[in-house]
């Protein structure tokens, strides 16, 4: 019997994917090679939009902001999410319900929570400065000062996305066999030793996946930054994605915007490749050190 073909099941989705994912990509690449502004004629300009990027100070500054924002928004949720996963791995009554509460920040509508964070960041009336004053820390300007705006936004991002890291690591913890823990207990290992030498190495693959997903989302972060600061004050929190928005939909410079979109995508792929490479290196050194 000839095995049945399953193509008819896939075709409708294929059409949709071609129309809304593949076509936009091909068209974006074509647009990036043109001078293409809304309301004026388009001309083919080759790679000049890409050359323009290399000497656009606002773009280069945005790359810097994106890098700082991303590194912090990967590292902090990874650390906190791992700790949270270790706690949620224990058995206690009401665990399912509390886990539901814990993941609320990442499911909530980003614009809605951004609005409340903006109120909490308010220098005079905000609850955050009040809380700081209780422990004797002077009032901060949070998102209203160039020096503190990125750390403040990272605070929101960390609050929002630590739960995702927790869920992924929790999945990893569930897969760990119990034998190593039993022998460690017999040997009288401390909690920290158990975590450092048994748990951490075993959940490394999951931490890596969580880090990768976190990186992709943090680089692309838009809603929170746009709704709270719109890239301000000045351009102190303007990331690549926010700059891309201004170029394409404030100045309607679609050709240049497309070039930014292409470079932005390649940058994300490059970062992912670097992370994969670093992971491979780590595995090899680990194996080499055992030999």
Partner 1 sequence: MTSSQINLRQIVGQIGLWLSVFVIVSPAILFFLWMASLSLKFEVDNAAYPPVFIPDRIAWKNYADVLASNRFLTYFVNSLIVTGSATALALIVGVPAGYGIARMAAHKSAIVILIARITPGLSYLIPLFLLFQWLGLLGTLVPQIIIHLVVTVPIVIWIMIGYFETTPMELEEAALIDGAGRWQVFRHVALPIARPGIAVAFILAVIFSWNNFVFGIVLAGRETRTLPVAVYNMISFDQLSWGPLAAAALIVTFPVLLLTVLAQRQIVAGLTAGAVKGG
**Among 249, 250, 274, 232, CA closest to 70:** 274
Whose tokens are 């929190």? That residue is 237
In the complex, the smallest distance separating the C-beta of residue 239 from partner 1, rounded to whole angstroms, is 10
> Which of 87/282 has CB closer to partner 1?
87
Q: Is 63 in the site for partner 1 (CB under 8 A)?
A: no
Does residue 14 interact with partner 1 by CB under 8 A? yes
* Under rule CB under 8 A, residue 274 binds partner 1: no
209 binds partner 1 (CB under 8 A): yes
Chain residues 139-168 in contact with partner 1, contact rule CB under 8 A: 159, 163-164, 167-168
Task: Candidates 65-73, 182-190, 239-247, 282-290: pick the segment binding partner 1 (CB under 8 A).
Answer: 239-247
Distance CA 161, CA 104 (A): 10
| Range in contact with partner 1 (rule: CB under 8 A) among 18-26, 62-70, 143-151, 178-186 | 18-26
Other Cβ atoms within 10 Å of 260 Cβ, number:
26
The dihedral sign for the CA sequence 236, 239, 245, 251: positive
Considering beta carbons, is residue 236 or 271 the nearer one to partner 1?
A: 271
CB of residue 170 to partner 1, shortest distance in Å = 8
Asked if 77 touches partner 1 (CB under 8 A), the answer is: no
Cβ of 235: how many Cβ atoms within 10 Å? 19
Instruction: Assess 21 for contact with partner 1 (CB under 8 A).
Output: yes
Q: Determine which residue in the list 72, 149, 217, 218 makes contact with partner 1, applying CB under 8 A.
A: 217
Contact between 105 and 113 under an 8 Å Cβ cutoff? The reply is: yes
Our finding on whether 135 is near partner 1 (CB under 8 A) is no
From 46-54, 59-67, 219-227, 276-284, give the range in contact with partner 1 by CB under 8 A. Answer: 219-227
Long-range contacts formed by 227-231: CB under 8 A, 24+ apart: 227/110, 227/111, 227/114, 227/115, 227/118, 228/114, 228/117, 228/118, 228/121, 228/143, 228/153, 228/156, 229/143, 229/149, 229/153
* Near partner 1 in 86-125, by CB under 8 A: 87-88, 90, 92, 96-105, 107-113, 115-116, 118-120, 124-125
The Cα-based distances of 162 to 11, 55, 69, 214 in angstroms read 38, 36, 15, 9
């Amino acid at each position: 019997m000839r095995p049945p073909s399953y193509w008819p099941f896939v075709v409708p989705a294929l059409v949709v994917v071609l129309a809304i994912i593949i076509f936009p990509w091909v068209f974006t690449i074509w647009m990036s090679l043109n001078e293409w502004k809304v309301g004026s004629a388009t001309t083919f300009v080759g790679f000049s939009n890409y050359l323009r990027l290399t000497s656009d100070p606002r773009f280069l500054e945005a790359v810097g902001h994106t890098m700082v924002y991303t590194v912090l928004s990967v590292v902090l949720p990874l650390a906190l999410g791992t700790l949270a996963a270790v706690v949620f791995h224990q058995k206690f009554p009401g665990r399912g319900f509390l886990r539901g509460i814990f993941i609320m920040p990442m499911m909530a509508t980003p614009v809605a929570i951004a609005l409340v964070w903006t109120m909490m960041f308010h220098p005079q009336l905000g609850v955050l400065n009040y809380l700081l004053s209780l422990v004797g820390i002077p009032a901060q300007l949070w998102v209203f000062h160039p020096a503190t705006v990125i750390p403040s936004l990272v605070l929101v991002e960390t609050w929002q996305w630590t739960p995702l890291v927790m869920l992924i690591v929790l999945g990893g913890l569930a897969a760990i066999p119990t034998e190593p823990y039993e022998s460690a207990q017999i040997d009288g290992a401390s909690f920290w030793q158990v975590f450092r030498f048994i748990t951490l190495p075993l959940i490394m693959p999951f931490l890596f996946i969580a880090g990768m997903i976190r990186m992709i989302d943090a680089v692309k972060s838009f809603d929170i930054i746009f709704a709270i600061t719109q890239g301000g004050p000045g351009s102190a929190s303007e990331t690549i994605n926010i700059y891309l928005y201004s170029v394409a939909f404030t100045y309607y410079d679609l050709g240049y915007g497309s070039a930014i979109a292409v470079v932005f995508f390649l940058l994300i792929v490059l970062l992912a490749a670097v992370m994969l490479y670093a992971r491979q290196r780590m595995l090899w050194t680990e194996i080499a050190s055992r030999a």
